[in-house]
Amino acid sequence: MEDNEIQLLDGLDGLQTLMELYLGNNLISDVKEIVKLKQLSRLIILDISGNNLARDQSYRIYCIFHLRKLKVLDGVSIEQAEHMDAKETFAGRLTEEILESRLGPGRKLSEIKELDLSSCRLRDFDNMFDESLYPNLRDLNLSHNSLVTLRGFGYLPKLRILKIKANRLETLFCKPNDDGYPKGLFGLPVFFHFNVKFSIGT
């Protein structure tokens, strides 16, 4: 399927016995399209070079992390060290795929009022929580994960319940404000918001 104008990887999930896939020099730009190939359980050779997505610095290890059976990517054998690097980089990170599995397809983040992400083995959520994504979020459960910090936690004006039990938190400080000073949760310069009910015990 090389040298076409393919932009999306929809419709390939039924090819359960496919072992080699050549998609070089197409118009695939979003690296997240790779996730659509996860159903191809026998895929061991993938060539997707010459697409815009390959310009992403983490593109190769992203493919290796999501397509665990791959042995060759873009004509280059995959080394064990790359598997380890991919796992270290992506395992435990909150992604859109995890959110979709918890929310179900078609639900808009802007409409979510309650979100349960407990027991997802999360280590990092990488700026996934702020007013622009979750303007109506009121109840958030992050319990029983492996979070060590809440850095990257943005301003959630309607949040009233935050459950973070059974994590490995070392601090409640979040990302700094525009002046470079650390903020507390929800944009306040303190460790807690008086209108928010916390649950942080074991």
CA distance 45 to 63: 11
Instruction: Spell out the domain ranges in the chain.
Output: 20-90, 94-202
pLDDT tens across 21-50, in order? 999 999 999 988 998 898 899 999 999 999
Closest to 202 in 3D by CA, of 163, 174, 158: 163
CA distance 52 to 90: 21
Q: CATH classification of 20-90, choosing from 3.40.50.300, 3.30.1360.20, 3.30.390.50, 3.80.10.10?
A: 3.80.10.10
Neighbours of 120 (CB within 10 A): 18
What is residue 195's predicted lDDT score, i.e. its pLDDT? 43
pLDDT tens across 100-109, in order? 767 776 788 8
Torsion-angle region of 155 (φ positive above 0: left; ψ -120 to 50: alpha; else: beta)? beta
202 has a pLDDT exceeding 50: no
Banded pLDDT at 190 (limits 50, 70, 90): very low
